Amino acid sequence: MRLRLILLLILVATATVSTRASAQGGTDLAERVKAGESWGTTALTRNEITACWATLTVLRAHVATSGRGSFPANYTTANLDRRVAEWSKAMDVAFAHNPDYRKEDADQAVAAARRDIDGAGIAARAEQAGGCTRLPGTPPPTAALRVVAASTAAASKSISPLPRPAAAKATLADANTSWSDVLERKCAAADAVACWQVGEAHELGRGTAKDPAKSFAAFSGACKGGIAEACFIAAKAKGQGVMPADQAAAFALYKAGCEAGSGDSCLWTAVRTETGRGAAKNEELAMKIYDRACSLRAGRSCLYMAQLWGSGENVFKRTDGPLALKYAAGGCNAGSGESCGLASHLAKGNYGAPHDLAKSDMYAAIGCELNHFGGCMNLGYAANQRKQHVEALRWYRKACALGGQQNSCQAVRTLEIYMADVAAGGAARHRWNEAQAASGAAVGQLLGTGDYAGAMQKAAYDMGSVNEVNRVLLASSAAGRIADVPDIYFVTFQTWQLSSQARIIFNAEARARVQRQRQESQMRRAAAASARSGWGSGSSWGSSTSTIKPTTYAAIPSISESAIYKNARESVSRSYCSAGWGCR
């Protein structure tokens, strides 16, 4: 089960941009705005507030230059100016703790909004503008809760829904003032905004001495008044040692923040529900709360849910590729670069998700723009596959500069060597082609003798050739000898771009091996329990010593997955995989 926390994201894709005309064509933007207004939630986290401000800012410029179009009649420049000013005040509060981050976050949010509104994302931004109708803390017009991944309901019909978020009872506009006796009295009289102000004053030493205990008490009062961020701050203090630890109290505060509409609070409520920390352990309910956190734009929760449904390591013990993609896309839209990478990988048709190269390209581009090295790395890979080496080198260099994995910088060096070789006449490429041809012939000979393990080692370890790997998978399956292929490859090839037919064979065999391993583990545990309880002595169960034997596969060669990657992708003398010469 802990595989959930170490799932790897392998990213592949490039970017596409559509024109404004094609984006608006046939789309009733007023309807999309109306759909956003029906969400029934409000932005409370810093990222959500910044996204609302940026969306309205860019929409205002769009209406001023291009006209209202099919936006609602109230989308005038004057009305949009007013809303931008309101959200700017909300940002003042949101960035009170970290004012230095405001400009950078705002610039990134505006760039993303401009890209969407000037391109294919204008409809989605129109819906988001509708969802930004209410400022933080104002009560919703309805009790509706926005659900990003609604199809989860079909997967978890046995789970009763959580209570809907309580209406926030106060606004934080202009709340960053210094401590005063007046504020203390207002807080004592259950004024939630005053409690927020008192909590910040005691936390930051604004007009009074810093006092964690008084800060916690004030934030707890603000939480009771419906200010979700106050619940989150108080919960962290109670659960992480600022105050005397009380995990049950911390859970109650996280839960209150979740119900008030804080995605981060929902995330930690889900984590504690899944692990039983401060609350009864309930994995099914945790899945539901993770879903709510994702719907409230907690990107890490979306990423985790995507991993659970992609890997099958969830309470339902099954995979759902389309649902995994929806969660990953939700996390990407919430600003999680890792989610963008996973969405890009899934959109290539992996793990049963729909195959959509355009979306895969888009998610990778967004991930790179969010400075996630994997998105940049795989933009480079995709460019190399198109033989656009100058563009590829640019993306590889950015991935390397972002401090990505070692293969990012290795790809830069490999591609530079390759390009220098091409400029000099291609002698190294000629030698490489000859070596690959000789190795391919050797693979054919090994297949002819029925040595499928050896053939796979040659194809993957020596050549790093996806085409030869496809060949071995198809041949071993046709001969009924797929079990000869060592287990290590059924880990490695999860991330290789196999052909559709080879991927079907691979997925079926990988699932069968996992299932057999689980069954054998269960049988061994049952046999051990039988031995401990004394079953079998003088009974039809026979000896208490287990005779269960695991399924036997071919011996794993003395190589590791990292060694496969090293030889297949990083050995310049034998392979130009990073230059897109036919390797995975």
The pLDDT, as a whole number, for residue 218 is 92
In a domain, 339, yes or no: no
pLDDT at 404: 61
pTM above 0.95, yes or no: no
Residue 122: closest CA among 53, 48, 70 = 70
Could you tell me the residue range of the domain that residue 93 belongs to?
13-131
Q: Is residue 180 part of a domain?
A: no
SS3 letters for 118-139?
Answer: CCCCHHHHHHHHHHCCCCCCCC
Query: Residue 235: left if φ>0, alpha if ψ -120 to 50, beta else—which one?
Result: alpha
Look up residue 567 and give its DSSP letter: I
Query: How far, in Å, CA of 148 to CA of 263, rounded?
Result: 12
**Token reading at 353:** 């998700």
Q: Which residue has the tokens 């060592």?
A: 486
Q: Are 62 and 68 in contact (CB under 8 A)?
A: no
438: left (phi over 0), alpha (psi -120 to 50) or beta: alpha
Per-residue confidence in pLDDT tens, the chain, 584 aa: 334 433 323 222 222 222 233 333 445 788 877 776 765 445 555 667 888 898 899 988 988 888 888 888 888 888 899 999 988 888 888 777 667 778 877 887 888 788 878 877 787 788 778 878 777 655 433 322 222 233 333 333 333 333 333 333 444 444 456 888 888 899 999 888 889 889 989 888 888 888 888 989 999 999 998 888 899 999 988 877 666 778 888 899 999 999 888 889 999 999 999 989 888 999 888 988 998 899 888 889 999 999 888 888 777 788 888 999 999 999 998 888 889 988 988 888 888 888 888 888 889 889 888 888 888 887 888 888 888 888 988 988 888 888 766 677 888 888 888 888 888 877 777 887 888 888 889 999 999 999 999 999 888 878 888 888 989 999 999 999 988 888 888 777 776 777 878 888 888 888 888 778 777 777 777 777 666 655 443 333 333 333 334 434 333 334 443 443 344 333 323 333 333 333 33
The amino acid sitting at 336 is S
**443 found inside a domain:** yes
Q: How many CA atoms lie within 13 A of 64 on its CB side?
A: 11
Give the sign of the dihedral formed by CA 360, CA 361, CA 366, CA 371.
positive
Q: Indicate the residue among 80, 98, 131 that finishes a domain.
A: 131
Q: Would residue 198 count as lying in a domain?
A: no
Report the sign of the C-alpha dihedral through residues 458, 460, 465, 467, in that order: positive
Give the chain's domain count.
Answer: 2
Structural domain includes residue 71: yes
Report d(CA 274, CA 308) in Å as an integer: 13
Choose one of 86, 116, 131: the last residue of a domain: 131
The answer to whether position 147 is within a domain reads no
Distances (CA, A) of 313 to 316, 340, 547: 8, 20, 29
Residue owning tokens 């959200």? 87
Residues of the chain by 3-state class (helix, strand, coil), percent to 5? 65, 0, 35
Q: Considering the domain boundaries, does residue 451 fall inside one?
A: yes
- Given 81, 114, 131, which residue is the final one in a domain? 131
Q: Which two tokens stand for residue 253?
A: 């505060």
Residue 524, in any domain of the structure: yes
Question: What is d(CA 482, CA 505) in angstroms, rounded to the nearest whole number?
Answer: 9
DSSP, res 332: H
